[in-house]
Amino acid sequence: MPASPNPRHRVAVTAIGLVTPLGGNVTENAAALRSGRDAVTPVTSFKVSRCRAKTAGQVSGSWSFPGAKAEWHRASHFTTAAMQEAQNGDPQFTPELAVIGTTSGGMSFGERFHRAQIDRRRPAERAGWLANYMPQKAVLDGLDVCGWSAPMQIIANACASGTNAVGHAFQLIRAGMQRSVLCGGYDAISELVYVGFDALQAATPEKVRPFDRGRSGLVLGEGAAMLALEEWESANGRGAPILGEVTGYGIATDNHHLTQPHPSGVGPRLAMERALADAQCPATWIDYINAHGTATTFNDATEGTAIAQLFGSAVPVSSTKSMMGHALGAAGAIEAVFALIAIREQFLPPNLNYQEADPAWELAIVANESRKAKVRRVMSNSFGFGGTNASIILQAA
């Protein structure tokens, strides 16, 4: 990749917001990460009796916003809550642009519309379903509630969407093309997507066990995460809180198959190599890797291989999806915030349900319990359908 002709501005994270199955804000999530809470529970929002898998990480709780409407999709609620938390963390932050990742928007409203066609019903709510189904709606709702009138770029790069959103926002600020960008991701569980992963036999009926020899598949999750990114001097000049810094981003496309990564791990390896080069950071400087770690046979095999090739067995690795499932388009943004929590609170989030090492590679898995550590730089990985691979590097302020 050719070198950027642009100046390299530093990129500060001045605020974060988080809604996940582990908690409705950053504080609750940090406590859950530290305690290693398992937030995976039986699915409640649709029938799973004919699926192999029966569980998911599901967001609980409710929110109330001025201007919120009854017909909003729950994804709008997650997204708005995460944006509001970020806004409360840095009230002076004003985004010039919003770059948000998602995979399925308000899909469950599309499902209801479909069922109504088959049932030959035209319920009054259908107008609300349509208006709130599209992926841009949750972002518009959140921006509107926060009083932010920013253009939006909504990235749908499957499970890498959230990391792509943070990475693209970072690149724009670093190059001096934007001063402040709100970035993040959101997704809400839907029947169609749940059954899709079940049909592919990518979802597990058991506990989710990333990197374990006996791993048997992923568990879906949901949530939203937002990060306020700002050019360092600008943030510093106005006395904004600086929670951390984004320093590198790598993206790679693996053309092996629509849903399966190349067995060599070339896609993940290229993304990680490019992020390290972008950050001008040797692999030995990374203190922790928040892995994509879906616990599918193929993902963990390729990611594990790529991590072992690049980092050896010295860098601690965990997949926080073991606690809350895979939040798809939100996952990368959620895990970027988890990385900042690990840096701020100096601990390594655990990889739950880990029993036996996979002999295919030697990795320093943070098994089952969090632990104190000196954490200055974190790499966060996201890989998805379509061969999208993305890695970002965050570091202490």
256: its two tokens? 């092996």
- Pair 217, 353: CB distance under 8 Å: no
Question: Is 68 an interacting residue with respect to other proteins (CB under 8 A)?
Answer: no
Q: In which element (H, E) is residue 86 found? A: helix 74-89
Q: Which is closer to other proteins, CB of 158 or CB of 291?
A: 158
Site for other proteins in 260-279 (CB under 8 A): 270
- Pair 153, 98: CB distance under 8 Å: yes
Span near other proteins by CB under 8 A; candidates 234-242, 254-262, 285-293, 339-347: 254-262
Site for other proteins in 88-147 (CB under 8 A): 96-97, 102-103, 105, 110-111, 113-115, 117-118, 120, 122, 126-127, 130-131, 134-137, 140, 143-144
SS3 assignment, position 229: strand
Question: Looking at the annotation, which residues are catalytic?
Answer: 159, 292, 326
Distance separating alpha carbons of residues 316 and 17, to the nearest angstrom? 25
Site for other proteins in 189-218 (CB under 8 A): 191-192, 195-201
Site for other proteins in 318-377 (CB under 8 A): none
SS3 assignment, position 194: helix
Residue with tokens 């969407």: 161
Phi, psi for residue 326 in degrees, rounded to 5? -100, 110
Span near other proteins by CB under 8 A; candidates 83-91, 221-229, 252-260, 307-315: 252-260
Span near other proteins by CB under 8 A; candidates 19-27, 248-256, 294-302, 309-317: 248-256
Span near other proteins by CB under 8 A; candidates 22-30, 31-39, 45-53, 299-307: 45-53
Question: Is 251 an interacting residue with respect to other proteins (CB under 8 A)?
Answer: yes
3-state helix, strand, coil in the chain (%, to 5): 35, 20, 40
Question: Is 230 an interacting residue with respect to other proteins (CB under 8 A)?
Answer: no
In angstroms, what is the minimal distance from the CB of 165 to other proteins? 10
Residue with tokens 């949901």: 222
CB within 8 Å of 128: residues ≥ 6 apart: 69, 70, 71, 109
314: its two tokens? 């010295």
Q: In which element (H, E) is residue 165 found? A: helix 161-174
Using CB under 8 A, count the residues that bind other proteins: 73
Amino acid type, 324: M
Question: Is 168 an interacting residue with respect to other proteins (CB under 8 A)?
Answer: yes
Q: Which is closer to other proteins, CB of 50 or CB of 374?
A: 50
Span near other proteins by CB under 8 A; candidates 15-23, 221-229, 245-253, 285-293: 245-253
Q: Which is closer to other proteins, CB of 256 or CB of 344?
A: 256
CB within 8 Å of 326: residues ≥ 6 apart: 159, 218, 219, 220, 221, 294
Q: Which is closer to other proteins, CB of 105 or CB of 217?
A: 105
In angstroms, what is the minimal distance from the CB of 276 to other proteins? 16
In angstroms, what is the minimal distance from the CB of 384 to other proteins? 8
- Pair 194, 220: CB distance under 8 Å: yes
Site for other proteins in 6-35 (CB under 8 A): 6
Render 112-157 in DSSP notation, one character per residue: HHHHHHHTT---TTHHHHHHHHSHHHHHHHHHHHHT----EEEE--
